[in-house]
């Protein structure tokens, strides 16, 4: 089987991407980050998702982005908005996907993998700069000059299969793949058992996705 | 003063870059990594260099690249070559500069800095893919789509002022800036007091640089 590195956060999108990569026959090396986020429930969900959706291995790397702060997800003094806001929201973590992909690239290079998957989405999303098609394309271009594989002509591909899908389409795709989304945690401020707040941007996009897909929402909410 | 993030390894090149950035008037935020490298002497040198060359702050981030291995610098079971080798050498750390720059970018974004400096060099170097001009250009392109600053039209610049200089030119530049290179550690396998092996690729390039510049080599060698 061909190895691939798959970024797995424990949320709905990356679970779907893992299942898609498995369906395509990749030996999936799941990678998650303990980066100073608000809650550990998403890392527990990531481990569960990696195991249940057939990753060959799951690795959690520690990288303390809370040392930099600047985001409501890594700085507890900044509140997570519970209503839509204008512009790039305060939950944006500076350069997070660049950092995550760079570490995925490092692991891929050691594994001899040329395929990296991530679950970014540019339709039903929070407006983060590093979830857009131009970001994915620029990282792929970088990966192919930054590494031994790129220099030797073994093209590295950054797969973002959800990029142009609506949340409803993602949900329907995942249901078809047999994913139990009740096992995933998307909420920015889930409690320690993984129950969602139901009010943050991520909860809103997820809830609307289930509704638009006509799929019963399996999310465990706090209220 | 305009803030900048400067990658500082404790070696000759990055010390020179820090002095250049200071000379250009930047408020330099020095960033180093405890990434699982073979010795801590370079981190002690980095702290010394940051302090003595006028960084406003020095931060060390931990990121365990030895979990991935794949390089003689992060895997103690792989020997550091003591003679020139063909191709990309085993001391190459997969995606290291991509990882380091991505974290520099994260810090820069939080600081509101649009200038990132690093000491890569593509003339007298070990042949690492992520020390070449095309790598620097690709990362700059990425930085400008990955971030809030890029989206808002505040162009981020990746400064690599040594890119096209010989090691001798770098040494002469540094001497002009008043750098005491005896305070820096470039060796891949320095001992715990920072004394250099004198045999690895990095020692060879450095020693030849001093010789070609006609500058007395202040490096403390083990033998």
State the Cα torsion A14-A146-A93-A22 to the nearest 10°: 0
Q: Is the pLDDT of residue A33 over 90?
A: yes
State which residue of chain A sits closest to B96, comparing Cα positions: A106
CB pair distance less than 8 Å for B134 and A147 = no
End-to-end alpha carbon distance in chain B: 44
Tell me how far apart the alpha carbons of residues A141 and B97 are, in angstroms, rounded to a whole number.
15
CB pair distance less than 8 Å for A107 and B68 = yes
Q: Where does the pLDDT of residue B38 fall: very low under 50, low under 70, confident under 90, or very high at 90 and above?
A: confident
How many A/B residue pairs have CB atoms within 8 Å? Answer: 135
Q: A115 with A5: CB under 8 angstroms?
A: yes
Residues in A touching B130 (Cβ below 8 Å): 146-147
pLDDT at B208 (0 to 100): 97
CB pair distance less than 8 Å for B95 and A88 = no
Residues in B touching A105 (Cβ below 8 Å): 94-95, 98
pLDDT at B126 (0 to 100): 85
pLDDT at A164 (0 to 100): 96
State which residue of chain A sits closest to B137, comparing Cα positions: A142
Identify any residues that bridge with B200 across adjacent strands, giving them in sequence order.
none
Average pLDDT value over all residues in chain A: 95
CB pair distance less than 8 Å for A70 and B110 = yes
Residues in B touching A99 (Cβ below 8 Å): 99, 102-103, 106
Phi, psi of A5 (to 5 degrees): -105, 130
CB pair distance less than 8 Å for B61 and A62 = no
Place of tokens 């994915």: A136
Q: What is the mean pLDDT of residues A135-144?
A: 98
Domain A3-213 has CATH 3.40.50.620: yes
Q: What is the mean pLDDT of residues B2-14?
A: 97
Average pLDDT value over all residues in chain B: 95
Of A59, A138, A147, the CB nearest to B141: A138
pLDDT at A17 (0 to 100): 98
Q: Are strands B27-34 and B57-62 parallel, antiparallel or unpaired?
A: parallel
* % chain A with pLDDT above 70: 100
Residues in B touching A133 (Cβ below 8 Å): none
Q: Is the pLDDT of residue B214 over 90?
A: yes
CB pair distance less than 8 Å for B141 and A139 = no
Tell me how far apart the alpha carbons of residues A161 and A119 are, in angstroms, rounded to a whole number.
7
**pTM metric for this prediction:** 0.96
Say whether A9 sits in a helix, a strand or coil. Answer: coil
HEC states along B152-179? CCCCCEEECCCCCCCHHHHHHHHHHCCC
State the Cα torsion A64-A66-A67-A71 to the nearest 10°: 140
pLDDT digits (tens, 9 = 90+) for A68-110: 999 999 999 999 999 888 889 999 999 999 999 999 999 999 9
Q: What is the mean pLDDT of residues A8-13?
A: 97
| Nearest alpha-carbon partner for B30 in B1, B4, B6, B61 | B6
Q: Other C-beta atoms within 10 Å of B191: how many?
A: 14
| Nearest alpha-carbon partner for B103 in A42, A32, A133, A100 | A100
| Chain CA centroid to CA A10, Å | 7
Interface probe, candidates B90, B109, B111, chain A, greatest A C-beta count within 10 A: B109
- Long-range contacts (CB closer than 8 Å, 24 or more residues apart) made by B78-86: B80/B38, B80/B188, B80/B189, B80/B197, B80/B200, B81/B200, B81/B201, B82/B197, B82/B199, B82/B200, B84/B201, B84/B204
Interface probe, candidates B32, B138, B142, chain A, greatest A C-beta count within 10 A: B142
pLDDT digits (tens, 9 = 90+) for A140-182: 999 999 999 878 888 999 999 999 999 999 999 999 999 999 9
Question: How far lies A203's CA from each of A172, A173, A186, B107, B146, in Å?
Answer: 17, 19, 7, 28, 24
User: How far off is chain A from B217, nearest CA to CA, in Å?
Assistant: 32
Place of tokens 């390894």: B9
Question: How far lies B47's CA from each of A68, A93, A121, B57, B174, in Å?
Answer: 19, 27, 40, 10, 18
Residues in A touching B69 (Cβ below 8 Å): 110
CB within 8 Å of chain A, chain B residues 42-101: 59, 61-65, 67-70, 88, 92-99, 101
CB pair distance less than 8 Å for A142 and B98 = yes
Tokens of A47: 């481990």
State which residue of chain B sits closest to A71, comparing Cα positions: B110
The residue ranges of every structural domain in chain B are 3-213
Tokens of A5: 């590195």
Q: A63 with A28: CB under 8 angstroms?
A: no
Q: Is the pLDDT of residue B167 over 90?
A: yes
Residues in A touching B139 (Cβ below 8 Å): 142, 146
pLDDT digits (tens, 9 = 90+) for B67-104: 999 999 999 999 999 988 888 999 999 999 999 999 99
Looking at chain A, which runs of residues are DSSP E strands? 3-7, 27-34, 57-62, 115-117, 157-159
User: How far off is chain A from B137, nearest CA to CA, in Å?
Assistant: 9
Instruction: Note whether A9 contacts B: Cβ–Cβ < 8 A.
Output: no
Q: How deeply is B12 buried, as exposed, middle or buried, from its count of CB atoms within 10 A (0-12, 13-18, 19+)?
A: buried
- Kindly state the helix (H) or strand (E) to which residue A179 belongs, with its residue range: none
Tell me how far apart the alpha carbons of residues A194 and B175 are, in angstroms, rounded to a whole number.
58
Q: What is the mean pLDDT of residues B189-208?
A: 95
pLDDT at A150 (0 to 100): 79
State which residue of chain A sits closest to B35, comparing Cα positions: A63
CB pair distance less than 8 Å for B142 and A141 = yes
pLDDT digits (tens, 9 = 90+) for A189-202: 999 999 999 999 99
Q: Other C-beta atoms within 10 Å of A83: how many?
A: 8
pLDDT digits (tens, 9 = 90+) for B111-166: 999 999 999 999 888 889 999 999 999 999 999 999 998 788 889 999 999 999 99
Tell me how far apart the alpha carbons of residues A91 and A185 are, in angstroms, rounded to a whole number.
16
DSSP string covering A29-84, please?
Answer: EEEEEESS-S-SHHHHHHHHHHHHTT-SEEEEEE--GGGT--STTT-TTSPPPSS-
Residues in B touching A35 (Cβ below 8 Å): none
Q: Tell me the angle at which helices B167-176 and B201-213 cross, rounded to the nearest 10 degrees.
A: 60
pLDDT at B39 (0 to 100): 84
Please tell me what DSSP assigns to residue B80. Answer: P
């Amino acid at each position: 089987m061909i190895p691939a590195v798959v970024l797995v956060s424990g949320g709905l999108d990356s679970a779907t991407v893992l299942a898609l990569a498995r369906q395509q026959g990749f030996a999936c090396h799941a990678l998650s980050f303990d980066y100073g986020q608000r809650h550990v429930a998403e890392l527990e969900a990531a481990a569960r998702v990696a195991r249940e959706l057939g990753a060959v291995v799951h690795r959690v790397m520690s990288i303390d982005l809370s040392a930099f702060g600047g985001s409501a997800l890594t700085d507890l003094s900044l509140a997570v908005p519970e209503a839509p806001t204008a512009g790039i929201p305060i939950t944006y973590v500076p350069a997070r996907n660049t950092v995550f992909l760079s570490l995925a690239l490092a692991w891929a290079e050691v594994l001899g993998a040329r395929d990296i998957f991530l679950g970014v989405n540019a339709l039903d999303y929070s407006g983060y700069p590093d979830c857009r098609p131009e970001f994915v394309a620029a990282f792929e271009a970088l990966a192919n000059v930054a590494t031994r594989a790129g220099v030797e002509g073994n093209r590295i591909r950054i797969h973002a299969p959800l990029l142009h899908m609506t949340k409803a389409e993602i949900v329907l795709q995942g249901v078809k793949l047999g994913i139990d989304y009740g096992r995933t945690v998307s909420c920015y401020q889930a409690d320690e058992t993984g129950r969602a707040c139901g009010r943050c941007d991520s909860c809103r996009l997820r809830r609307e996705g289930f509704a638009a897909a006509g799929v019963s929402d399996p999310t465990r909410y706090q209220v």
